Amino acid sequence: MTDQTQRISWDKPTEEKFLTILKQIPDMVRGIAETRINKKAEAIVRENSRAVIEEKDMVAAFFAETPAAFRGAMKQSMVDLKIDFKGYGYE
C-alpha cells in the first residue's frame, strides 16, 4: 500500500473534539470548513508517513485553514475543550 492509498483515520478523542468544534461553526460554512480541515489534517499525517490524525494535526489544520476573522472563535473553542494550541506552537 502506498502513502497515497493508505487509509487515514482519526484518533477517537481527537475526532470527538473536531466534531465539537465543527458544531460551533455557522451552518452555512460548516461543510466547507469540515472538508478543508479534514483534507489538511490528512495531508499533514501523510507528509509524516503516519496513518492516524492526532490532536496536534487537527490543531495545525484548523490554524492553516481558518480565516483570520474566525480564529478568535476557533481558539476559544479549543480553550473550552482544553486543547493547548500554544503547546503546539500557535498563538
Q: What is the mean pLDDT of residues 53-82?
A: 96
Is 23 part of a structural domain of the chain?
A: yes
Provide the H-helix boundaries in the chain: 12-23, 27-47, 55-65, 71-80
Is 58 part of a structural domain of the chain?
A: yes
Is 91 part of a structural domain of the chain?
A: no
Is 39 part of a structural domain of the chain?
A: yes
Nearest Cα residue to 56 out of 81, 86, 76, 31? 86
User: Residue 40: which domain range?
Assistant: 9-86
Q: Is the pTM of this model over 0.85?
A: yes
| pLDDT tens digits, one per residue of 20-36 | 999 999 999 999 999 99
| pLDDT tens digits, one per residue of 5-17 | 679 999 999 999 9
Tell me how many domains the chain contains: 1
At residue 6, the pLDDT reads 73
- The overall average pLDDT reported for the chain is 93
